[in-house]
């Protein structure tokens, strides 16, 4: 409501569509169908959870801002398992179950729209290209999640570097962020919880990256002077975001890996 921009997705392009294009080309038809999918655009304030709507038949689509999926361990720690960036779909898990449950939290102010699950599924049967694209999406997500697991085995400095590489690459993929920098309105605590590192330590590790001129990060803006160098330092291979670049070679595999 505050942002009429977010509501329209006017030129048949929004972050979601831009992201899906990475799975392979979409027909104008498919692009159009996608752009008609969005419902009830609205803006939500930072620092709160998205609560499960009354309507289970909808999923959320983030158009701007950053959210996260997380779980709270019983010692009170919050562990973020993935960021929800512009163009990302997410289902809000039912809050029902016992203590330890998945939640989606808004890290910055976000504009979101709803998408009808039924409509989305209908599109998948009518448009094989979209079916492929959505499979690609799910498998890319799985791939990224596993990449995070691997990242957990790296020492702190590289771990942070790797995460920053990924964030930059993902934002670039949906048209946010330039060649060597992007807006990044996360707090150090958010990064810490995503890496499973204390916020005190994150700060020190951050300083280390700065001291090596690998990054500059001020007033919500991340700048990477030499992307190549940061990639090397973090052992980051951008290919994995495209599901290993396989998307153009073979159709996604419908399961398991």
Partner DNA sequence: CGCTGCTTTGATGCCGATCAATTAGGGTGG
Partner DNA sequence: CCACCCTAATTGATCGGCATCAAAGCAGCG
The 114-153 contact track toward DNA, x by CB under 7 A, reads ----------------------------------------
Buried b / exposed e over 121-131, threshold 16 CB at 10 Å, is: eebbeebebbb
Of 124 and 197, the one with the shorter C-beta distance to DNA is 197
Residue 216: name its binding partner from its own copies, DNA, none (Cβ under 5 to 8 Å by kind): none
Half-sphere exposure of 27 (CA within 13 A, CB side): 11
Q: How many Å apart are CA 113 and CA 111, to the nearest integer?
A: 7
Query: Distance of CA 152 to CAs 148, 157, 231, 255, Å?
Result: 6, 11, 17, 24
> What distance lies between CA 7 and its chain's CA centroid?
20
3-state DSSP percent of the chain in helix, strand and coil, to 5:
45, 20, 35
The position carrying tokens 């930072």 is 46
Of 72 and 198, the one with the shorter C-beta distance to DNA is 198
Of 18 and 71, the one with the shorter C-beta distance to its own copies is 71
Q: Name which position in 47, 126, 221, 229 contacts DNA (CB under 7 A).
A: 47
- Closest approach of DNA to the CB of residue 210, in Å: 8
Of 134 and 206, the one with the shorter C-beta distance to DNA is 206
Residue 156: name its binding partner from its own copies, DNA, none (Cβ under 5 to 8 Å by kind): DNA
Residue 244: name its binding partner from DNA, its own copies, none (Cβ under 5 to 8 Å by kind): its own copies
Binding site for DNA (CB under 7 A): 47, 155-157, 159, 187-189, 196-201, 203-207, 219
């Amino acid at each position: 409501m505050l942002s009429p921009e977010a509501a329209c997705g006017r030129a048949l392009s929004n972050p979601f569509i831009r992201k899906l294009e990475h799975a392979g080309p979409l027909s104008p038809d498919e692009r159009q169908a996608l752009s008609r999918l969005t419902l009830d655009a609205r803006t939500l304030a930072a620092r709160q959870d998205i609560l499960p709507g009354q309507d289970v038949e909808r999923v959320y689509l983030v158009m701007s801002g950053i959210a996260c999926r997380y779980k709270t361990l019983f010692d009170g720690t919050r562990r973020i398992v993935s960021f929800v960036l512009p163009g990302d779909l997410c289902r809000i898990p039912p809050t029902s179950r016992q203590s330890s449950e998945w939640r989606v939290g808004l890290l910055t102010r976000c504009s979101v729209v709803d998408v009808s699950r039924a409509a989305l599924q209908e599109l998948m049967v009518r448009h094989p290209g979209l079916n492929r694209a959505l499979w690609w999406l799910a498998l890319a997500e799985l791939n990224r999640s596993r990449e995070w697991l691997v990242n957990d085995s790296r020492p702190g400095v590289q771990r942070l570097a790797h995460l920053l590489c990924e964030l930059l690459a993902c934002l670039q993929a949906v048209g946010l962020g330039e060649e060597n920098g992007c807006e990044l309105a996360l707090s150090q605590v958010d990064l810490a919880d995503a890496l499973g590192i204390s916020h005190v330590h994150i700060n020190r590790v951050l300083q280390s990256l700065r001291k090596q001129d690998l990054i500059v990060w001020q007033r919500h803006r991340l700048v990477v002077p030499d992307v190549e160098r940061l990639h090397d330092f973090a052992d980051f291979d951008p290919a994995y975001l495209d599901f290993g670049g396989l998307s153009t070679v073979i159709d996604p595999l419908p399961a398991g890996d």
